[in-house]
Structures are given as C-alpha cells and as structure tokens.
Amino acid sequence: MKLDRRQFLRVGGAAAAAAATGAALAPEVEAATRPARRWRAKTSAEMPAPDLETLLLTRAAFGPRPGQLEHARQIGGMKWLEEQLDYENIDNSEVEELLLNRLPTLNWSNKQFLDLDERGQGVRELMQATIFRMVYSPRMLHEVMAEFWSDHFNVSMETNNVRYFKSVEDRTVIRKHALGKFKDLLTADAQSPAMLDYLDNAVSTKRQPNENYAREIMELHTTGAAVNGYPYSEEDIKQVAKCFTGWTIDNRANAPTRGNFMFNPDTHDNSTKTVFGEQIAASLGDDDGRIVIDLLCAHDATPRYIALKLARRFVCDDPLTDAPQLVERVASAFERSDGDIRDTLSALFTSREFGSSFNNFGGRLSRPTDLIVRMLRVSGLPMDKFTIGQNAPVFNRINYALGRMGHLPFYWSTPDGYPDVKTAWAASGVMLMRWNVGLAMCGVGAGSGMGARMVDNWTPLTAEGVQTSFATAGEAVDYWTERLLHRALLAEDRQQIVGYLTNGGTDGTPFAGVANRLPYAVAMIFDSPYFQWR
C-alpha cells in the first residue's frame, strides 16, 4: 500500500507531516512537553527519547537488528512503515524455508494432527517458529501483528484439544489475515477448530446451546464488554449462541476434511432469532452466524474497541484517559476502510500521539517475550546460532525464562489474551528474571534454567562486526549504549555504569585494564530501566 503525504496530514497533523518527510519529530515536542529533569525522579519519560525510527523499530517491530535502524533512518520512518505494511512484497523465504526444513509440522493439516494423535510436536514446533520469526523475519510488523491478534483471539495450549489445532490456526487464521480485513479475520477465527474447541462452540447444539463463544465474540473480539446492557444484553448472548449452533469441527475419522470447520445443519437451531434488535429469519442455516458477524463488524462499538486495543498496544496503557482523540481517529480509519487493518495501523503510526508518545506517556514496558527477542535482535545473533528442531538449546533457555515470567507463547489460559499494561509485567519475580536474562545473555549467568549463557559459544560481545578495543572505559560504555539502546543515557546513569565497569574508576580509565568486566557492564545496560522500556 502507498501512504501519501496528504493522508498523513489528514490523520496526524503537523507532527505526522514532519514525520512524513523523514524528520524526527521528537525534539520540538520534547521542548514543549518535557518538565525540567530532576535527578532521582527518573521516569521513562525523562530519559532521552528515541527518534521516530527507533520508536517504530521497537514498537512496530521487535527491535532493530544491526543495520536496520540505519536503513530506516536513511529512507525515513514513514517509508519504512510503508514497506512493512506491504509485507507480501518482503521476501521472507530464507526464514520460512529454514523453518519448514527443521519444523515439519508447520504445514500440517488438522487431519494430519488428528490422524497421528499429535499434539506435542506441533505445539513445540509452533512455539519455536514463533520466537524464531520474531527474531529473524524481515516482515517485522507482520510478526508484531501476529502476536497482537494471537492475544486478541487467544486460545490456550493449556486446553488439551487446542493443541491439535493451534498450528493450523496460526497459519490460516492469524498470519493469513494479520494485516488484512478484520471481518475476514473474525470469520476465519469463528470457523477455526482451535477456537471452536477452546470456547466450546463445537459442542453447542440446538438442544443444548453453549454460551461461551457467543459471549466472548462480543466481549473480547468485537464490541468490548457490555455495561448496563449496552452493546449487548444477556438475552443477546443467548440469541447469538443459537445463531452459532451447528458451527463445529468435522470429526468423521475417515473424512479428508477431518478436523476442519463444518456446519452441521442437524444440530443448528433454525428458529427465528433477534440480535441487537434485528430479527434473523428462521431456517437460514449457517447464514445466521455470518449475519451475526456482519452485525458485530458494523456495530459502532467494534471500531472503538479495536482502536482502543491497538492504541494500548502501541501508545499507552490507558488510551481512553490519556489519548481519547487517538482512539476516535483510529476508530474512524477502521470504519472508513471497512475494517482494513493496514489503513487502521497507518492512522495510528502516523499520529501525533504515537510520534510523541515516549515523551507524553512514557515508554511501553517490554513484555518478557519482547524483551528477550529484542536482546537477540539488537545484539545480532546470527541465524545459524539459533538452532531449532529436535535440539534447540537457545529456544529451551528462552522458554525457561518466559515460563518463569508467565509469558510462554500461546499459554495464557483465559480468552482475554496476555495483558498489555505495564503493571502486569513487573512483579518482583519477573523483575528478577529480567535481570537474570541479561546476565545469561552476556554469558555470565548461572543456575539450572539458563545456565551461564543463553547461546553457546556466542555473546553480544563476540557478535560479528562489534568493536572490541577501546581506548577508555567511557568510550566502551558509549559504544554499547548506542548499540543496544540507540539513544543516550542520562549523565548520572552513564557515570554509574562507567564506575561499575572500572570498579570505581572514571571515564578516562584505560579500557585494556577492565576489558574482562565488559560482559557485566553490557548485562547492566540490558538490565537497566532503559532497555526494559521500549
């Protein structure tokens, strides 16, 4: 898709216009909004802000791999965004071929999983592929949105049968439509065996309708939760449940379509229904469900709820309070484009609120997966060091850490998906694990979970092309700050890290004498508040 300058002006005002020309918009906003900094009142908003390209690459992507930020700065953030939205034209064959070669279940059908009674390998391989793509796929925004929709349409591997179906769902629902039309995504999800099983619609019949899916398709997938009977009443839930009766999973052992979506007219309730005051005539069969999907996509509340969730993902914890106009603008873009996810995202990323969000709202706290993936990306772990398949030590250590932080891919047990606000991800145990991951990343960890190092025979300090000799300790700290954070530290914090590297020395302390302490100093940059924010 093409983003033109007029579009930016329309949706984003002056800030976006500045952004559209590739100019960083941070400084002017900063001057206007940032209070005088006081030492010891160090919020993320008071740290030196990232420029627009850094912001895009850490929020609309899982962090820049070496060279990517330079590229984005060269072409300008908006051009970068345009490229990423046009993801089908980004060649990802190197990553995908490697994945398929090592992880054969990635292109299995539901029937294959069921016929072979296989729900271990598929899960394991999908989890590996998910982290691997986050680290290496050149379709960076597509990966971010795949994660977003996986949360939005959460199904959990904790539910046993979902494990048969999740891999196919990831491929044919989430990834296929992640940057497509919302209605296609919702429809595909409603017919996804993983969702049909997870929210029990597969067993919902005319005789005994099950309300689980009917409730959540409204509360969580489209309109948001009802307040005092708006947008939906408890009676609407019962009616919607009737509409979806008969939407089930083909369970015939010998059918070529075994395990796929199937409409069963025998268990469908063909009576007349009323949803949101609209009457749905009798005997429409599986059109009942399609009509409900149409009604939900056309409902006023849906664009607002999707916009709210996107704004929360990319801009701030509480958009309704802090950026209500943004929510409204993104919702209009959704409405105008008939639920086109790319147009909706363009409105969001070209907004003033996004461009200035670090200053105005502070950073977004990295969720654990983002934290680890970004560590690997900014330090430039080469693909051949991230072994996957049967023997996958790097993945296993990542998985250990994510388990300890409560963020394993696809393991959130309830249908609301992993939370997206900072308070969910900074409990004491999680803080500690964040720090331990930094130590292990630099090869100076310990313990049974990750061991001394995240990657065998490799650390960020031994990555290809890194500078290894410096005249002074100060030079080394500055180099690693730029490489990992892409922005400066506050002077006081820089002094702390220099002091640590030199064991109480100063900027000018010769590097040669303290070189052996550098892994710890680099770990400290990872473990500092700076890296935790994005």
- Nearest CA to 128 out of 437, 392, 407, 383 is that of 392
The nearer residue to another protein, 230 or 465, going by C-beta atoms, is 230
Q: Please report how close the Cβ of residue 446 comes to another protein at its closest, in angstroms.
A: 4
User: Minimum distance from CB of 431 to another protein (Å)?
Assistant: 4
d(CA 517, CA 521): 7
Are the C-beta atoms of 507 and 499 separated by less than 8 Å?
Answer: no
The two three-digit tokens of residue 418, written as one number:
């992993």
- Smallest separation (angstroms) from another protein to the CB of 219: 6
Minimal distance, residue 99 CB to another protein, in Å: 17
User: Which CB, 22 or 419, lies closer to another protein?
Assistant: 419
Provide long-range contacts, Cβ within 8 A and 24+ apart, for 391-398. 392/128, 393/456, 394/454, 394/455, 394/456, 395/127, 395/128, 395/131, 395/132, 397/440, 397/449, 397/450, 397/451, 397/454, 398/131, 398/372, 398/454
CB of 382 to another protein, least distance (A): 24
Cα distance between residue 408 and residue 392, in whole Å: 16
Q: Which residue, 159 or 332, is less far from another protein as judged by CB?
A: 159
- Cβ at position 204, least distance to another protein in Å: 8
Q: Which is nearer to another protein, 62 or 418 (CB)?
A: 418
Angle formed by the axes of helices 5-20 and 77-85, to 10°?
130
Beta carbon of residue 173, minimum distance to another protein (angstroms, whole number) = 21
- Smallest gap, in angstroms, from Cβ of residue 119 to another protein? 7
* C-alpha span between 99 and 113 (Å, rounded): 18
Taking the C-alpha atoms of residue 60 and residue 58, their distance in angstroms, rounded to an integer, is 6
Residue 451 · residue 346 · CB < 8 Å = no
Closest CB to another protein among 169 and 343? 169
**Which lies closer to another protein via its Cβ, residue 157 or residue 301?**
157
Beta strands in 220-342 (DSSP E): 247-249, 261-263, 273-275, 278-280
Nearer to another protein, 136 or 412 (CB): 412
CB proximity list for 10: less than 8 A, separation 6 or greater: none
Non-local (6+) Cβ contacts of 40 within 8 A are none
Beta carbon nearer to another protein, 157 or 484:
157
